[in-house]
Structure formats: structure tokens, C-alpha cells
Amino acid sequence: MARVDLHFHSSFSDGNWSPGEAVAFAVEKGLAAVALTDHDTVRGVDQAIEAAGGRLSVIPAVEMSASFAGGSDLHILGYFVDPADRGLLGAIERLAAIRIEHTENLLRMLRSENISISMEDILEFAGSGTEKGARTGESEGTIGKAHVTKAIVRAGGAADITEAYNRYLSPESPFYRQRVWLDAAEVIDVLKGAGGVTSLAHPCEKTVDRHSIERLSELGLDALEVYHPMISMERSQELCSLALELGLLVTGGSDCHGPYEEHAPTLGSIDVPLHLVQELRSAHERRLERRTMVSS
């Protein structure tokens, strides 16, 4: 069976691989298609497509942060998006501003604990997709928790990134502050406006219930991610049934971030069939056709 991986990250967000390194690994694994779904950025898509060189299909995609139902956080995947779409790039810019403000507030709190970290320190770890160390005052990638934890470890605030996360970034930490993202309805509209097919990322039982999925479907969600390392077989079957009931597509992927400490990379470790890509592509093409009919 031809397999695909529709969820992985590069050093343009919180992954450890450049897009090219990830694609090379996917080729070695014999994958037929992959989707680069970096957090709140599409800057790595062109590199991934170029690196593939026709050896496998690279779907232009993104994983966008959203707030929903009283402030809970969701991640919404968008497949076959236009990376140059102005609406998408505008939303990404707003999400970047939210991340920067949140990080600056956290750094102020850390300084009160005598942990001195500057934004420039964070930017050193925020991925460019090429050379992580070279910075000119701006990050080419998405600033996230992974970069903050690495900076905390380097500053001596924790022994490793797991301790740094638990002590300063986890919801149980006194330093934790919830970020307010763009509303889920807006994120869905933005992704669809860019030609994308939307899927709710890793809808685990602890994070999202049936009512929430039904409401997201009403808002225009196209699919559910039912194959994911965090989703049990029982939950996957439940989500497949719910997707069928609501007329939603299904997606899946490893959510690989590259090699991590002593852990081997997981890209291609989830059995996701190739036909899901064709279903997404067909939905994307229908969306573009409807847009053409409306504008003509």
C-alpha cells in the first residue's frame, strides 16, 4: 500500500529538520506524498517542493493556531493552500505578533526569577529552515515553546527542555498564560479562502468533544485528523464514524518534528493511505471551481 504523511514540521517552526532534510527522509521511507504543516507559517513549503524534485508529492500546507469555545486552543490544518494568498499571509502575520507578545511577557517573568533571556536569544533557536544560527533581528520561522525551552536550558534555568517546559510553560506552571489566537471560524475561512481544505488536528478526547466537532463542522471544517500518534485505535474508529456521519473527510500523519533527544524521527510511522490525498485534492479542486463560477 502506498503511504503518505500529512502532518510534519520543519525548522521553520518547531521541527529539528530543514524542509529538505525531512523530504529526503520521506523519500528514504518510500512515502508517496507528504504535507509540510509548520505552525503558522508557509515559508518552508517552496524548499520542500524543490527538495522533492518530483520524487514524491509535496502538498502545500500549514497548521494554524486558533481559539474556540471560551478560549480553548485548537490547531487547524490547511491542505493545498496557496502560500502566496494575501489573506493567509495576513493571518499568519497576526499570529506571529501574538507569539512575540506572549514570549516577551514570559521573558519579563523569567527575569524576575533571575533567568536573563532576550528576544535575540529566542530568535537564535527559531528556525530559518537553513542555518539556524544566522539572524538579522527577525526570525524567518515561527517562534514557539520549543525555542523558549532551549533558551531557558542554555541560560541555566533548567537541566533539559522537559524540565524547562514543566517548570515554566506547562498549564500547571505559575508562569503559564494562555494565548488568545484568532477565532477558529476566522481561521477556517482564511484557509478556505486560500484554496485550502481544513482538518482539525489531533482531536483527542481530552481536548475536543463531539459537540465541538459538530460546531466546527457547521463553521465549515472539512475533515478530521483521525490517524495520529496521540489518538488511540478506539478513538480513531470513533472519529472515522463521526466524520462519516457529518460528511467530513479524514486525514492523518505522524506530527514528526525530526530527531528529538534520544528519540528517532517518526516521519512515515503512521499508516496513512494514499487515497486520502486524492480526496483532499478533489475537495480543493471543487473549491477552486466554485470560486471561479462565483467570480465569473
- pLDDT for the residue numbered 2: 87
- Going by DSSP bridges, is the β-strand pair 57-68/182-183 parallel, antiparallel, or unpaired? parallel
Q: Please, what are the domains in the chain?
A: 3-81+182-295 (3.20.20.140), 94-169 (1.10.150)
Confidence (pLDDT) at 247: 98
pLDDT given for residue 124 in this prediction: 86
Please state the length of the chain: 296
Q: In sequence order, which residues have a C-beta less than 8 Å from that of residue 89 and are 6 or more positions away?
A: 42
pLDDT tens track for 283-292: 999 999 988 8
- Cβ partners under 8 Å of residue 32, min gap 6: 2, 3, 4, 56, 57, 274, 277
> Terminal CA-to-CA distance of the chain, rounded, Å?
41
Profile the chain (296 residues) by mean pLDDT over runs of 10 residues: 93 93 97 98 97 97 93 94 98 96 94 92 70 41 89 94 93 91 98 98 88 97 98 96 98 93 84 97 96 76
**How big, in percent rounded to 5, are the helix, strand and coil portions of the chain?**
40, 15, 40
Q: Is 218 exposed, middle or buried (0-12, 13-18, 19+ CB in 10 A)?
A: exposed
Dump strand ranges (E) for the chain: 3-8, 33-36, 57-68, 72-79, 182-183, 197-200, 223-227, 249-252, 272-273
Quick one: pLDDT at residue 133?
37
Q: Which residues pair with 57 in a beta bridge?
A: 33
pTM (2 d.p.): 0.91
**Which pLDDT tens digit goes with each residue over 63-111?**
999 999 877 899 999 999 999 999 999 999 999 999 999 999 999 999 9
**Can you state the angle between helices 145-154 and 86-111, rounded to 10 degrees?**
30
Query: Are 191 and 78 within 8 A, CB to CB?
Result: yes
Here the cell at position 286 is 471543487
Residue 105: half-sphere exposure toward Cβ, Cα within 13 Å: 12
Name the grid cell of 180.
488568545
